[in-house]
Structure formats: structure tokens, C-alpha cells
Chain A
Amino acid sequence: GENVEQHPSTLSVQEGDSAVIKCTYSDSASNYFPWYKQELGKGPQLIIDIRSNVGEKKDQRIAVTLNKTAKHFSLHITETQPEDSAVYFCAASPYGGSQGNLIFGKGTKLSVKP
């Protein structure tokens, strides 16, 4: 089945710097890749997603890139702020989207230091 690997597991940056989190997936049929932000004690909140017919998507300070050939996708956060501190999860939807379940990476704990 699908397997999603996520790196790094922890990331510490200074406020204003950029942060990059990378994920790889194993099932070439996967075609939907969301990113979730989880704050302490809360459920995952979708921050951005990308579908396999698109190579890049941007929403203000957040961008996601997808390389289908290499089977990896990345989250880029620019001009980081302390409130960006959270755990970020990437996910992939296997079986080419014929099933709805998401396979998650292990998460990246991002700390933004003021």
C-alpha cells in the first residue's frame, strides 16, 4: 500500500526565515496531496493541498510543490511567524483517488523563534 515519508521530524527557524518540509510517497497512482497543521490539543487543519495535474500552488506565505516523476512534494513557508509553530503533516490519497482515505506522514514539529 501507500507509504508516506516526511522529513525533517523537527525544524527550528528564526522568525522571518523560510521553512521547508519534504515528503515522498510510494504509490504512483496517488493524486491528491494535502498538508495539515496541528496545534497542541487540536485536530489537523488543512492549510493547502495540491492535485497531481498541478506542479505548484501558492497561498500567501504558503506554497506546495509536487514532482510526480520523483514522487515527492514539499511545503514552503516564507516569512515565518511564531504562530506558525505547530506540527505539520503531509498526506497522500492512494489508489488514484478511488478511495478517500488519507495516508499521513509522521509529522514535522516546526518551532519559530521570535
Chain B
Amino acid sequence: EPEVTQTPSHQVTQMGQEVILRCVPISNHLYFYWYRQILGQKVEFLVSFYNNEISEKSEIFDDQFSVERPDGSNFTLKIRSTKLEDSAMYFCASSERRLQETQYFGPGTRLLVL
């Protein structure tokens, strides 16, 4: 069964450093999403992406965040200058269509900012 994959599974970085989280969505899916989950809290929407541009972003997704689809398979989330409060689990998701469509989540990348 096709699945969303994410790398790395864990990332430890120093405050102020840049990190890139990588995702490979399901191959025939057209819509891509990033969510984050701070330990013990709810999953929060960050950004959605379609046709090589951002469709929607939340208040969390400020100027330090960016997304990119550098090739036909990868979807990345970059955090330019990490802060302590960026420590969280980051999930990538993809869906075949946007409207009322099932989103399939990857296993997540646990980011720890020291």
C-alpha cells in the first residue's frame, strides 16, 4: 500500500540553525500539507501546497518557514532560524484531491531545538 515517507525521523539542532525536513508524498497525489504537533498537544495545520505554490497557510507559518517541491517526488519544509518553540513532531500529509479528500500522514520528524 502506498504511503507517505519522511526523513529524517529525528533531528536535533541548535537554536538559530536552519533545518530542512523532507517528505515523499504518495505518487499520484496532488495536494501536500505540513502539520506540527507539540508534545502532548493537538495536531496543528501549517501549510498546504498545490501546483507548486502555497494554497493556504496558518498563523504559525511565518517568514521563517518555507516549503518547496524541488523535484517530482520530494516536498520539503525549511525552517530558516530555529527557535526553542519549534521543537515538535512535524507531519507531512498528502491527498489526491483537496475537497473532502482523505489526507494520508507520514510517520513524522521529531525536531528538537536546543
Contacts and interface: CB of A to CB of B under 8 A. Distances in A.
B75 interface: no
B25 interface: no
- Most chain A CB within a 10 A radius of its CB, from B43, B45, B101, B107: B43
Given A100-B33, A100-B55, A42 B107 contact: yes
Interface stretch (B11-19, B65-73, B77-85, B91-99): B91-99
Interface string A38-79: 000111111001010000000000000000000000000000
Nearest to A33: B100
A43 B45 contact: no
Nearest to A45: B105
Contact of B95 (A99, A100, A105): A100
Contact of B44 (A41, A93, A104, A107): A104
Contacts of B43: 44, 89, 91, 102, 104
Contacts of A98: 99
B106 A43 contact: yes
Nearest to A32: B100
What band does the interface of chain A fall in when counting residues whose beta carbon is under 8 Å from B? Answer: 20 to 34
B45 A101 contact: yes
Contacts of B45: 101-103
Nearest to B44: A104
A106 B41 contact: yes
Interface of A: 31-32, 34, 36, 41-46, 49, 51, 89, 91, 93, 97-107
9 contacts: A32-B100, A34-B102, A44-B91, A49-B102, A99-B55, A100-B33, A101-B48, A101-B58, A106-B41
Interface of B: 4, 31, 33, 35, 41-45, 48, 55-56, 58, 91, 95, 98-108
